[in-house]
């Protein structure tokens, strides 16, 4: 049994190393995520071996004791690591992600993080940074399996007493799971996070236990063959798709376990003390490694020393939590602790969690406690204190006279006031009299221009109104503009046109009356893939991009020529075009973040920061004064 334990720990170590290098985003390890699937097989095998031995000896499973053992094994170190990481989040992470982090933290503690990721729709502007808790989904799947499996195994043992029947039932369920995974393989999110498509991997480990127990087929050559083929296929990426990657990897890992034989010629590898020790601390390592990589990447970037430094830090933290948290609690006999000691502790923890849940799901403008907590967190956060991060970066802070447009001006908004002209007061910057209204409508690319408009010195008679809507010039908008013609002397419909929606030019011309003027706002410079201006901002390093490459990649010469030709065919200057591109990026290379000037123009590939939008103010004001006297 000792040699079996060692080879299982070896496989655990290899699995967690694969996952570690996968999260480093090294192309050679693009299939490293399969380490989690191998973990699932191992978990099924180990849990079955422990429970089945108990069944054979006592003819029953002590469910309460099993669940207590699982709780002691999983939750103390889980809560410890996640709480330490949460503290680091408060101190060093961009705080616009904080509420999402707390929600995942809560779901993880309750073993439901995979369901959170399955059903949550990630916000468009939350895609800049990786999720520091993104690896916790697998813990949710594992805990759900542990909850159900003892009952299943007890039923299997009692109802199907023959080993052949037990194996047949297991094999049938595994085949069904594989079939469902294949059938729904195109729905990546469903297959990835749902336990329905993961439990068969645990049951495969269970089947491996029964096979190994009843059929003595040890063979060190076959075992080594399975292992090395597994590693070769993962590292060389020889799998045609994700489904076959999971299928072959789990079966090859199973083969390694089934055929494993203690042999002096392979002991130096499969029972190597250092690798086995990594297997012992693999749970702690798994919990620590992604947050370590996340914060290192956030502040220091992709230097060649990233892998050894993050690995070393993860190992040190894992050794500490394994020795002082995992081992301590796993061997702790809670029966020896007096109720007077643990009842207040667990009651306090419960109250804190309930309070945290309540505060998290309250709106900050409706809850004084959350307001105070938010203020405190912002005061102690490094990025807020040093860089004024949120005010410079968060797209949701784009506002009109202090009213955030994503709060009041979207189609989904419900909290706003209508003025006498049926316009949302929070989305309108009104002039002293009703000469001209710039009716601005569009998506986030149009929203890029709102800070510029909000800070313009408009003529006293000019106003502007913003409606955040991807479906520009809907029937509702057309009717509203028609009504506004009776109130304002002139209506200018304003929107952004990108190279992918040039067809909207003709639609706008057709749908609007001839006395409605049109202002087309150009595309802004788009950054190349892999350019991360916010990380440059945090690290204090320059970020540049190539105007030449952007023109080539998006065929912008054709884009600008198409718009100019279209406008030239329209008489009376009804349609005007404002080209912001050259103002933001006069010549290549350009800066999305310039350290010397401390200027941050972009927050991501295709969106400006507020200060980036304000870079346009001077040039647009010239355009405005010439064309809208």
* Higher-confidence position of 378 and 127: 378
Q: What's the rounded Cα separation, in Å, for the pair 384 and 374?
A: 12
Q: Which two tokens stand for residue 575?
A: 């349609």
φ/ψ of residue 543, rounded to 5: -125, 120
In percent, how much of the chain has pLDDT > 90? 74
Give residue 439's pLDDT: 97
Q: Which residue has tokens 């194996």?
A: 167
Question: Mean pLDDT, the chain, as a whole number?
Answer: 90
- CB of 518 closer than 8 Å to CB of 533: no
Joined together, the tokens standing for residue 309 give 């430094």
Q: Kindly write down the DSSP assignment for every residue of 56-104, as one continuous string.
A: HHHSS--HHHHHHHHHHHHHHHHHHHHHHHHHHHHHHS-GGGHHHHHHH
Q: Mention every residue, 6+ apart, whose C-beta is less than 8 A from residue 91.
A: 380, 381, 382
Residues ≥6 apart with Cβ < 8 Å to 490: 435, 436, 437, 517
Q: How far apart (Å, rounded) are the C-alpha atoms in residues 345 and 40?
A: 33
What kind and span of H or E run contains 442?
A: strand 436-442
What DSSP character marks residue 323?
I
Residue 573 structure tokens: 């200057």
pLDDT of residue 515: 87
Q: pLDDT tens, 98-116? A: 888 999 999 999 999 999 9
265 or 326, which is more confident? 326
Half-sphere exposure of 107 (CA within 13 A, CB side): 24
Residue, of 263 and 603, whose pLDDT is higher: 603
pLDDT digits (tens, 9 = 90+) for 575-629: 999 999 999 999 889 999 999 999 999 999 999 999 999 999 999 999 999 999 7
Q: Which CATH class is domain 394-627?
A: alpha beta
Q: What pLDDT is recorded for position 21? A: 96
pLDDT at 569: 83
For residue 482, the surrounding DSSP H or E stretch is helix 475-484
The answer to whether residues 578 and 620 touch, using CB atoms and an 8 Å cutoff, is: yes
Query: Going by C-beta distance under 8 Å and a sequence separation of 6 or more, which residues neighbour residue 296?
Result: 306, 309, 310, 313
Q: Is residue 140 predicted with pLDDT exceeding 70?
A: yes
Q: What is the pLDDT of residues 277-310, one digit of tens each?
A: 999 999 999 999 999 999 999 999 877 899 999 9
pLDDT digit string, tens, across residues 445-504 = 999 999 999 999 999 999 999 999 988 988 899 999 999 999 999 999 999 999 988 988
Task: Give the C-alpha separation, 235 to 248, whole Å.
Answer: 14
Sequence-separated (6 or more) residues with CB below 8 Å from residue 622: none
Say how far apart CA 70 and CA 77 lie, in whole Å. Answer: 12
Nearest to 282 by CA among 228, 326, 328: 326
Q: What is the pLDDT of residue 337?
A: 55
Q: Longest C-alpha distance within the chain, in Å?
A: 94
- For residue 158, the Cα-to-chain-centroid distance in whole angstroms is 44
Contact status, residue 509 vs residue 575, Cβ threshold 8 Å? yes
d(CA 22, CA 338): 45
Those residues with Cβ within 8 angstroms of residue 570's Cβ, 6 or more apart along the chain or in another chain? 509
Q: Are strands 517-521 and 490-496 parallel, antiparallel or unpaired?
A: parallel
Omega of the bond leading into 589 within 30 degrees of 0 (cis): yes
Residue 585 in 3-state DSSP?
coil
Q: Where are the domains of the chain?
A: 2-330, 339-387, 394-627
Output the pLDDT for position 3.
Answer: 44
What integer pLDDT is reported at residue 1 of this predicted model?
38
> What's the first-to-final CA gap in the chain, in angstroms?
88
Name the helix (H) or strand (E) containing 41. helix 34-58
> Which of 331, 225, 291, 306 has its CA nearest to residue 93?
291
Characterise 540 by phi-psi region: left (phi > 0), alpha (psi -120 to 50), beta (else). Answer: left
State yes or no: pLDDT of 514 exceeds 50.
yes
Tokens of 426: 């929070």
Six-digit token pair at 596? 């010397």
Q: Look-up: residue for tokens 């430094």?
A: 309
Tell which residue, 5, 8, 46, 35, has the closest CA to residue 204.
Answer: 46
Evaluate if residue 365 carries a pLDDT over 80.
Answer: no
- Give the pLDDT score at 309: 96
Question: Two tokens at 326?
Answer: 């995992």
């Amino acid at each position: 049994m000792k040699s079996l334990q060692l080879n299982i720990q070896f496989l655990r170590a290899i699995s967690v190393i694969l996952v570690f290098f996968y999260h480093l985003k090294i192309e050679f390890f693009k299939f490293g995520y399969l380490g989690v699937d191998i973990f699932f097989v191992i978990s099924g095998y180990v849990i079955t071996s422990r429970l089945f031995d108990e069944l054979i000896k006592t003819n029953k499973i002590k469910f309460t004791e099993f669940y207590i053992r699982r709780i002691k094994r999983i939750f103390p170190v889980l809560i410890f690591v996640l709480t330490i990481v949460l503290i680091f989040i408060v101190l060093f992470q961009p705080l616009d992600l904080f509420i999402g982090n707390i929600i995942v933290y809560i779901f993880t503690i309750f073993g439901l993080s995979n369901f959170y990721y399955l059903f949550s729709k990630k916000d468009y502007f939350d895609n800049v940074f990786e999720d520091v808790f993104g690896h916790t989904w697998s813990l949710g799947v594992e805990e759900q399996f542990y909850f159900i499996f003892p009952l299943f195994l007890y039923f299997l043992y009692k109802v199907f007493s023959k080993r052949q029947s037990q194996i047949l039932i297991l094999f049938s369920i595994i085949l069904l799971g594989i079939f469902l995974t294949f059938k729904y393989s195109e729905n990546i999110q469903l297959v990835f996070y749902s336990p329905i498509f993961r439990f068969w991997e645990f049951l495969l480990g269970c089947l491996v236990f029964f096979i190994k127990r009843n059929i003595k087929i040890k063979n060190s050559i076959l075992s080594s063959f399975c292992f090395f083929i597994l590693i070769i296929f993962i590292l060389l990426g020889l799998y045609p798709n994700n489904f076959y990657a999971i299928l072959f990897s789990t079966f090859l890992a199973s083969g390694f376990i089934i055929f494993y034989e203690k042999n002096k010629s392979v002991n130096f590898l499969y029972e190597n003390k250092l690798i086995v020790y990594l297997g012992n601390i693999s749970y702690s390592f798994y919990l620590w490694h992604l947050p370590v990589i996340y914060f290192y990447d956030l502040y220091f970037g992709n230097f060649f020393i990233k892998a050894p430094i993050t690995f070393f830090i993860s190992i040190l933290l894992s050794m500490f939590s394994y020795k002082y948290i995992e081992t301590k609690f796993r061997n702790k006999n809670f029966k020896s602790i007096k109720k007077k000691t643990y009842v207040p502790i667990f009651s306090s923890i419960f109250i804190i969690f309930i309070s945290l849940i309540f505060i998290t799901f309250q709106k900050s403008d409706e809850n004084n406690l959350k307001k105070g907590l938010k203020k405190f967190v912002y005061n102690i956060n490094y990025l807020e204190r040093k860089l004024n991060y949120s005010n410079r970066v968060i797209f949701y802070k784009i506002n009109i006279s202090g009213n955030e447009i994503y709060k009041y001006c979207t189609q989904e908004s419900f909290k706003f006031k209508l003025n006498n002209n049926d316009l949302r007061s929070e989305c309108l910057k009104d002039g002293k009299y009703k000469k001209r209204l710039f009716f601005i409508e569009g998506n986030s690319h149009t929203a890029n221009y709102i800070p510029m408009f909000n800070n313009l010195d408009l003529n006293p008679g000019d106003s502007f109104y913003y409606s955040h809507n991807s479906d520009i010039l809907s029937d509702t908008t057309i009717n509203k503009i028609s009504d506004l013609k009776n109130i304002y002397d002139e209506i200018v419909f304003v929107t952004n046109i990108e190279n992918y929606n040039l067809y909207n030019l003709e639609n706008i011309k057709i749908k609007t009356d001839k006395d409605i003027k049109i202002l087309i706002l150009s595309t802004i410079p788009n950054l190349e893939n892999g350019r991360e201006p916010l990380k440059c901002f945090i690290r204090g390093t320059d970020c540049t991009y190539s105007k030449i490459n952007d023109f080539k990649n998006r065929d912008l010469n054709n884009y600008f020529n198409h718009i100019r030709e279209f406008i030239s065919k329209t008489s009376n200057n009804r349609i005007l075009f404002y080209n912001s591109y050259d103002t933001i990026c006069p010549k290549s290379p350009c800066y999305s973040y310039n350290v010397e000037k401390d200027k941050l123009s972009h927050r991501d590939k295709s969106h400006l920061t507020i200060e980036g939008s304000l870079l346009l103010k001077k040039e647009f004001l010239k355009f405005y004064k010439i064309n809208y006297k």
